[in-house]
Amino acid sequence: MKTRILLFALMFTGVVSYAQQDAQFTQYMYNTINVNPAYAGSRGALSMFALHRTQWVGLDGAPVTNTVSVNTPLNGSNLGLGVSLINDKIGPTNENAISADLSYTIQTSETWKLSFGIKATANLFDLDATKLNPVNAADPSLQNYSKFTPNIGAGIYLHSDKAYIGFSVPNFIETNRYDDNEVAIFKEKMNYYFIAGVVFDLSDSVKFKPALLTKMVQGAPLQVDVSGNFMFYDKFMLGVAYRWSASISALAGFQVSDGLYIGYGYDKETTNLANYNSGSHEIFLRYELFNNIQKITTPRFF
């Protein structure tokens, strides 16, 4: 039987995983490929993305997430292709997910396109028992643990140059990441995502984009993220975001060049957890390669 301290650590990890399951991102509107495979290739360019998130700074064992992705349309077809990697560390656990996305897009009107996508994921979960502080260090049951699980998902994404709406389930297969005596302690459950956003031209120099992400998972509260971002002169972005009953965020971004965009987000907890950490930080880089046909005159705001 595992010691109490190990069970406590895994129960803590389980609580975090049930509360957010998939890794969460404040700047979800720029990281859509991780939750919806139909997004692959929708930007009309080779798009490379990297993000680092440090959550609940000052709290031991708090989540640290890194993700990189590449997606592109396939020239001469309606297909899009994407590849992504997410590394999520929480306490003694380390989880890596490598995904491949394939999308197919149809033109539904002069301005709107509808994309369908599928996602295949390879997930590796690791528990490092050496990072625990057990009562009995000689307990033979305290061993490192690793598990590989495959998964599949799908999504739809309706979009134009000014708006988008989408629904997706990145993982259809519910799997036990860790169990003790055949009782699941850390279980991956199905996550349902609904996303939407629209861009308003307030003037020649100012754009406003409200956006929404809703995540539903059995056994956890409904997560609703809303944000409002302003872009000035197609260069500077400032905004705020709110995660229902969880946190409020400040967002900033800068379009360095036609292809390079950098963004930063800071979360402040609105729960009692704020008494034990100094907030969460998130920074990302996006770099895109356009050919002469694809090249745009102004950056797209999502």
Question: pLDDT digits over 67-117, tens only?
Answer: 999 999 998 899 999 999 999 999 888 999 999 999 999 999 999 999 999
Give the pLDDT score at 138: 62
- CA angle (153 as vertex; 147, 154 as ends), nearest 5: 170
Looking at the chain, the whole-number percentage of residues with pLDDT higher than 70 is: 83
Residue 134 has pLDDT above 60, yes or no: yes
Would you give the DSSP letter of residue 222? P
pTM of the model: 0.85
With beta carbons less than 8 A apart as the criterion, state whether 120 and 152 touch: yes
Which helix (DSSP H) or strand (DSSP E) does residue 194 occupy? strand 191-198
Query: CA 276, CA 4: separation in Å to the nearest integer?
Result: 23
Over residues 271-277, the mean pLDDT reads 90
Categorize the per-residue pLDDT at 10 as very low, low, confident or very high, splitting at 50, 70 and 90: very low
For the beta carbon of residue 278, count every other beta carbon within 10 angstroms.
Answer: 13
With beta carbons less than 8 A apart as the criterion, state whether 177 and 147 touch: yes
Give the pLDDT score at 24: 84
Position 16, amino acid? V
By residue count, the chain amounts to 302
Question: pLDDT digits over 154-191, tens only?
Answer: 999 999 999 999 999 999 988 766 555 554 455 678 89
